[in-house]
Structure 1
Amino acid sequence: MNTQIYLDNINKAAKLIQEADYILVGAGAGLSATGGLNYGDSQLFKKWFPKLSEFDIDTIGEAISFYWNVDDSHRRSFWAYWANHINKIRYESPALKPYLELFEVLKNKNHFIITTNVDGQFIKAGFNKENIFAPQGDYGLFQCDKPCSDELYDNKVFVDKMIVNMDTDKFEVLEQDIPYCPKCGSYMSKNLRVDDTFVEAPHMIKQKDYTDFVNNSMDGKLVLIELGVGFNTPGIIRWPFERITMKHPDAVLIRLNMDYPEVDKQIIHKSLCFDTDIMDIITDIKNMQYK
């Protein structure tokens, strides 16, 4: 895309957002990655987890796969990884620039957010949690691994305890620091959508708000802003956003995606697509709005 076409599209996007009655945001991993939380960044991984480089693990993405499942043979090292992963991403990482810039773009607009991200960045950037539907879980929460109930537990105290007491040479937490469910005594687990044990009910309460927002938008101008959503879970945001755009009488889809910017051919005339850095695009839209 040449510079003039890019600037014209930025101007169009800013104008569409300014004139919209409703703005629906869909955010995937690409939004956090453009702000620095890139699970494929080997340098970031080496900085955060130097010990794990000895195990021929090179990225956060590889580490997640390596430590995805747990059993008694490696439970202490499993929690050593996840306590540090959660602490770095959910607690130590500040609000990232693309989220802060997006907040400036949308703060005075009627908006709702659906995200597959579990890192809490929207809350850190100042967005109202009442306007966020996060169906995939939250790094800041634990659940019973059975589960024995739909209760979720803030996990910072558990995470801090595991990290403070862990054996860094062996990369293991203490046996007594492994978190247990306070209701039934079984192990705790991450509150992430992994299988049918995922405690989704507290998150899915927001599904009605999401549906209502879309339905209410039918009487006005709707702009859908899709940010860094690929094909890991396209059925949550990517495909529904295309269907909404197709069926809505006055909707435009703004898709920001460096790898997969294309849209269904049936909605090309109702879409604006960008394939450059997401953070730069959001910043340029914000700057255009404030000209």
Structure 2
Amino acid sequence: MSMSIQINTDNISEAVKRINEADSILIGAGAGLSASGGLNYNDPELFKKWFPRLNQFGIRTIGEAISIYWQVNDSNRRAFWAYWANHIQKIRYDAPVLQPYMDLFDMVKNKDYFIITTNVDGQFVKAGFDQDKIFAPQGDYGLFQCDGPCSNELFDNRSLIDKMISNMNSDDFLIREEDIPRCPNCGSYLAKNLRIDHTFVEEPHMRKQKDYLDFINQSVEGKLLLIELGVGFNTPVIIRWPFEQITAEHPHAELIRINMDNSKAPEKITSKCLAFNRDIAQVITEMKNIILNKNSRSM
């Protein structure tokens, strides 16, 4: 595929114009959006602040810790949950709403919008977005599932997380054996509700897929603006490639792509794509300020 970068990489005014003129806005968000707000899994200083004991063990970043504690088995289960309980607590529950999400909400709250995201940190809901307008097919840090699974039931994990952390041995970074979470239905172990393998309980999340597709189909008669934020090539089949296809096939669609490392777009949609290879938080803030200033002057 021939690739090229849109020339107008810093045209904030043009991006704002497209937002204002859009009849509907489809937002696609990946890990880069949360990273731009401070939840950067490759930041050694953040890891040292949040996980000083693991840092003393020689682990340097959240991304490195995830790779170390990715698989669970009978020999590492207490250490596995010591890490993941703290990871979920800090990212899903302790982390405040991030500025890029707040600015994005201010930009589109009065528009007809829908969101598809691979992020599992709950930031969209914290920022005030309507949960009924969010399709998150990769899971949710706030939920557990049976590791079998024995059913499609999902479980709120807040109390289980609190119990593991409050009783854990901080020096050894281990939780108690009796605090390992178990399925209330079958007695097997609980697991994170993340799309890791074939055991992922996706059915409750995939109910939103119809709403997502309906939103796209109903936008055909008007102007559809797709805003893609921090989406790379980890899982391009979920957001990146479908957004390019929608932009190419929709008669009145345009794409704004903001990505510091992967802002390129296929040549066939270059004329419909405005790309920014800059920090997402900065671009969103600049766009929001223009929109709010225009709205205040028009009142």
SS in 2 for 1:218: coil
SS in 2 for 1:283: helix
Aligned residues: 287
Between the aligned partners of 1:7 and 1:71, the Cα distance in structure 2 is 47
Between the aligned partners of 1:157 and 1:77, the Cα distance in structure 2 is 19
Give the CA deviation at 1:56. Answer: 1.9
**Which of 270, 273, 277 pairs up with 1:271?**
273
In structure 2, the CA distance between the partners of 1:252 and 1:50, relative to structure 1 (3 Å rule), is same
1:203 matched to which residue of 2?
205
What whole-Å deviation, never above 9, does each CA across 1:64-99 have from its counterpart, x for those lacking one?
Answer: 110000111010010000000000000000100000
Between the aligned partners of 1:24 and 1:15, the Cα distance in structure 2 is 16
2:55 matched to which residue of 1?
53
Between the aligned partners of 1:27 and 1:210, the Cα distance in structure 2 is 14
**Which of 242, 245, 248 pairs up with 2:247?**
245
**Over aligned residue pairs, what C-alpha RMSD do you find?**
1.0
Give the CA deviation at 1:7. Answer: 9.2
Does 39-48 or 5-14 show the bigger shift? 5-14
Between the aligned partners of 1:191 and 1:73, the Cα distance in structure 2 is 21
1:94 matched to which residue of 2?
96
Q: If the length of structure 2 is used for normalisation, what is the TM-score?
A: 0.95
Between the aligned partners of 1:185 and 1:8, the Cα distance in structure 2 is 55
Given that 2:25 and 2:225 are in contact with CA atoms closer than 8 Å, whether structure 1 keeps it comes out as yes
Between the aligned partners of 1:54 and 1:276, the Cα distance in structure 2 is 34
Between the aligned partners of 2:238 and 2:97, the Cα distance in structure 1 is 24
SS in 1 for 2:128: coil
- Return 5+ residue gaps in structure 1 as ranges: none
What whole-Å deviation, never above 9, does each CA across 1:79-131 have from its counterpart, x for those lacking one?
Answer: 00000000000000010000000000000000000000000000000000000
Give the CA deviation at 1:8. Answer: 6.5
2:112 matched to which residue of 1?
110
- Return 5+ residue gaps in structure 2 as ranges: 1-6, 294-299
What whole-Å deviation, never above 9, does each CA across 1:133-173 have from its counterpart, x for those lacking one?
Answer: 00000000000000000000000000000000000011000
Q: Which has the higher contact order (CA 8 A, sep 6+)?
A: 2
Q: Does 1:128 align with 2:130?
A: yes
2:218 matched to which residue of 1?
216
- Match of 1:210, as an amino acid? Y
Give the CA deviation at 1:9. Answer: 1.2
1:165 matched to which residue of 2?
167
Given that 2:9 and 2:274 are in contact with CA atoms closer than 8 Å, whether structure 1 keeps it comes out as no
Identity percentage of aligned residues:
66
